[in-house]
Structure 1
């Protein structure tokens, strides 16, 4: 065998040994990975089982401020569930200087200003007549005259309806004659009694007859008077329910009369606003159907019976209506001033950010966004009254307020 053949054989043997060694070196880590992949869940499962029924404490790895807690006591969580968010801070709670490479968020800012503000609540209401009366027949008979029309103005005492009185006039005349005769007989009986010409029993009979005839006369007289129905007050004929020629009967409605020289405004007031209203002497309101013209009326009273459907109490406002502009049935919007402020903070609605259980916004503080939780009051137009959380002079982040978070680096571009 030659030297070359020996060398070739040695090289082949060496190569085989190298390949074998490489395969062993490569297979060892793979095997370890496979083993760990199989064992880790088993170990975790055993750890969980070993800790079942016992609290497991999650420890912070540094200083920080808890921003949000995403679970509550008793919630069931699974592996990978986010429990809370933590912002890293210094030991004293201050935010550490950020990496100079942090990108600043571009925002616009404006200074919060205070101004006078009336906390006004607008409540719907309806106008009603100051006085109204249904005119009804109290006797039976044919309606002879009923010439007024709906919308006519009448004065107190004006005749509205005439009912045929001929039968009542005859009865009245007869009752009058019978009364005169009974009176004459009673007077003669008294004279005879004084001279003992008749006994007391006969005298009492004459007396009773006289009293009966007197009552009958008054009854017929009243019926005769009821043949003419007059206006009980100055007002307007709102509705007619009958016409001339019809037969009237007791209780039959003939017309409705209303007085609108003054009117009432009936407004539903929520329970929480009653205390504010009691302090008022005058209340303003607008009438949409009159181009939102504003009127003012006098606060009269609050009816103590709640309107069940609206969960509100009727508030009565009395208004002069000599111009006759206000008509029953018109809808109004009453303006109730609950409180007045001299230096109130008002924000546009879009500057207030709604959270899960809070409202907030952001101000700029030392080049960074700072979250402010807000206590809000009433909404008016497109603004909201801020009761707490902002004060005049604060630098409010305007545009870009929904792009920042508490502590974000910001750059003012206005």
Structure 2
């Protein structure tokens, strides 16, 4: 009887052990990775559609002043008055400096006395000529002397006027080369005035794009100092001759403003849009694979990526024109092609 109990106990232990092993096997089987026979690859897609193809080209240039000139006197002498400092704004016609004109005024005064004497002589000669008391030639000589003296006075007055150095246009004094008390001669640089009420963006345009620019064309200008502002400019000059690299300078004039102030020397850029082709079936450039002779792309059909050969035509920075192998509405893969083969199941985004 004791042996029977022992035997039954052994059988029970064996049963429990087998059940435990079977349970562990099921749990282990559940943890073992079983590859999906048809895995799906996540890709990004875009729709092939009709769109107007245009090419946008960006060009960088720098701003130059509307006008800049050195102030040089047309008279010589000592500067007795100087009314400017560097950085100061001056108006057109404003006095910049005054030269000593005392000697010139003395000469005018002396000539006026001489003129008065000639005029008195003229009155006497007119009376004497009528009475045949003196020859008529004396009257003629006096008349010529009067005209000559008047011309000398006008010349001296012009020289006196030239001792007033004035601003030819409104602008900022960007350089001052003299001080009060300096003695200058005709043509000596005294100051530099710069007009930035409007500025010119000078951009070098390559030969292939120069025909897209014409005088009077409106263009939007972007600057680093005001990146969010679109400045309206107008083409005011297209060079008739290019440099050795076949680049042609183009000037685009833009008005300066208090809201978005500009200074000469700053950078500016323009983006010129050119129509490459009218309405055409196109896809993003990222969709195209292969070579230019044998372009291919993946089309998503029924949840699978199907490799398809296509023909391409015009191109822009962002799109390829598709001439064959595709129709409007087809969804093409633009990202994730490296993980695809013909017929791979995909999850399109």
C-alpha deviations, 1:155-181, integer Å up to 9, x for none? 222211111222222222223323333
Q: 2:171 aligns with which of 217, 223, 235?
A: 235
After superposition, the C-alpha distances for 1:349-390 in whole angstroms (9 at most, x for unaligned) are x544574x65834243987422234335332xxxx2324447
In structure 2, the residue matched to 1:364 is 299
Match of 2:316 in 1: 378
Q: Offset at 1:328?
A: 1.5
- Residue 157 in structure 1 maps to residue 157 in structure 2: no
Aligned-partner SS, 1:217: helix
Say if 1:354 and 1:159 are closer, same or farther in 2 by CA, change over 3 A: farther
Residue 284 (structure 2) pairs with residue 347 (structure 1)? yes
**1:219 counterpart residue number:** 155
**For the residues of structure 2 that align with 1:239 and 1:314, how far apart are their CA atoms?**
28
Residues 179 and 402 of structure 1, relative CA distance in 2, 3 Å threshold = farther
Q: Distance in 1 between matches of 2:130 and 2:198?
A: 64
Equivalent residue of 1:315, what SS? strand
Q: Say if 1:237 and 1:346 are closer, same or farther in 2 by CA, change over 3 A.
A: farther
Tell whether the 8 Å contact from 1:107 to 1:401 is kept in structure 2 after alignment: no
Q: 1:314 aligns with which of 249, 266, 269?
A: 249
Tell me the CA shift for residue 188 of structure 1. Answer: 4.2
The answer as to whether partners of 1:363 and 1:394 remain within 8 angstroms in 2 is no
Provide, for residues 164-213 of structure 1, a one-character-per-residue CA deviation record: whole Å limited to 9, x for no partner. Answer: 22222222222332333334434544454444444343333223322221
2:45 to 110, 115, 118: 110
| Aligned pairs for 1:98-137 within 5 A | 108=43, 110-114=45-49, 119-137=55-73
Cα distance, 1:106 vs structure 2: 7.5
Q: Tell me what 1:254 maps to.
A: 190
Q: Is the 8 A contact 2:296 2:307 kept in 1?
A: no
* Aligned-partner SS, 2:316: strand
Partner residue of 1:263 out of 179, 185, 199: 199
Instruction: Please report how far the alpha carbon of residue 137 of structure 1 lies from its aligned counterpart in structure 2 after TM superposition.
Output: 1.3
Distance 1:174 1:261 in 2: 46
Residues 359/243 of structure 1: CA separation in 2 closer, same or farther (3 Å cut): farther
**CA apart distance, 1:123:** 1.5
Q: After superposition, what is the alpha-carbon deviation per residue over 1:66-94, rounded to whole angstroms, capped at 9, x for unaligned?
A: xxxxxxxxxxxxxxxxxxxxxxxxxxxxx
Q: Greater RCO between the two (CA within 8 Å, min separation 6)?
A: 2
Matched residue, 1:393: 329
TM-score, scaled to structure 2? 0.71
TM, length-normalised to structure 1: 0.61
Give 3-state SS (helix, strand or coil) of 1:322's partner: coil
Asked whether the 8 Å contact 1:261–1:321 carries over to 2, the reply is yes
Question: Superposition RMSD on alpha carbons, in Å?
Answer: 3.6
Between the aligned partners of 1:171 and 1:127, the Cα distance in structure 2 is 49
Contact 2:65 2:264 (8 Å CA) reproduced: yes
Return the match for 1:174 from 110, 121, 126.
110
- 2:18 corresponds to: none
Gaps of 5+ in 2: 1-38
Distance of aligned partners of 1:202 and 1:343 in 2 relative to their CA distance in 1, 3 Å threshold: same
Q: Please, which of 233, 238, 248 is the counterpart of residue 303 of structure 1? A: 238
| Match of residue 42 from structure 1 | none
| Alignment-derived partner of residue 20 in structure 2 | none
Query: Alpha-carbon deviation of 1:286?
Result: 0.7
Query: What is the number of residues matched between the two proteins?
Result: 302
In structure 2, C-alpha distance between the alignment counterparts of 1:133 and 1:188, rounded to whole Å: 54
Residue 27 of structure 2 is matched in structure 1 by none
Q: C-alpha separation between the residues in 2 aligned to 1:181 and 1:245?
A: 38
**Equivalent-residue separation in structure 2 for 1:403 and 1:360 (angstroms):** 18
Distance across 2 between alignment mates of 1:352 and 1:261? 50
Write the distance in 1 (CA, Å) between the matches of 2:78 and 2:141: 39
Q: Of Structure 1 and Structure 2, which has the larger fraction of its residues in strand?
A: 2
Whole-Å Cα distance in 1 between the matches of residues 270 and 164 of structure 2?
Answer: 42
Shift of the 137–391 alpha-carbon distance from structure 1 to 2, 3 Å rule, reads farther
**Aligned ranges for residues 282-301 of structure 1 at < 5 Å?**
282-291=218-227, 293-297=229-233, 299-301=234-236
